[in-house]
Amino acid sequence: MPAECVTVAIFRQPTPYTGSKLALGALMETQRVCLVIEDNDDIRGLITVVLTRAGFDVRAVATGADGIAAAADPSVALITLDLGLPDMDGHVVARAIRALSTAPLLFLTARSEQDDHLAGMASGAAAYVTKPFHPQELREVALRLCPATAPATTDQASQQA
């Protein structure tokens, strides 16, 4: 099935396939950029697929250092941050990003303890999703933090899809 081939390709690419982005951008006037910081390849691929389907232009990186560098781009409208990164403590990454960007920060973490939740809020998290998460939960939280700004063109896009 061609659809399955496309899905597999997206999962194996850290960055979204850019060929279709031009066509999608023409339909959706203001595609919001979402920076995804996640070291696990499978989870990064899943987040990328979910948020791309939710209308975001996803930029995915695997380390805290790359995430901080990418967060300096003012076009970033939403950031998802895995707290368990190999190179830096997630809360340190969060505070560094907070100094660079006003984009809402969505924490994604396997840790579910209340202490981590409170520490996350202290680090500037706008929302918190605990792994394993349902794709619909991630989609809803992302769209609540960063709603689509052009509903008319979004409707047009979905009618053509």
Residue nearest Ca ion, CB atom distance: 84
Closest CB to Ca ion among residues 63, 153: 63
Among candidate residues 90, 48, 49, 51, the one with its CA nearest the CA of residue 67 = 90
CA distance 118 to 160: 43
Residues 6+ apart with CB under 8 A from 138: 47, 50, 51, 80, 108, 129
CB of 82 to Ca ion, least distance (A): 4
CA distance 61 to 51: 14
CB of 84 to Ca ion, least distance (A): 4
For Ca ion, the binding residues (CB under 5 A) are 39, 82, 84
Among candidate residues 93, 133, 140, 77, the one with its CA nearest the CA of residue 109 = 133
CB of 107 to Ca ion, least distance (A): 12
CB of 91 to Ca ion, least distance (A): 14
The two three-digit tokens of residue 47, written as one number:
């987040």
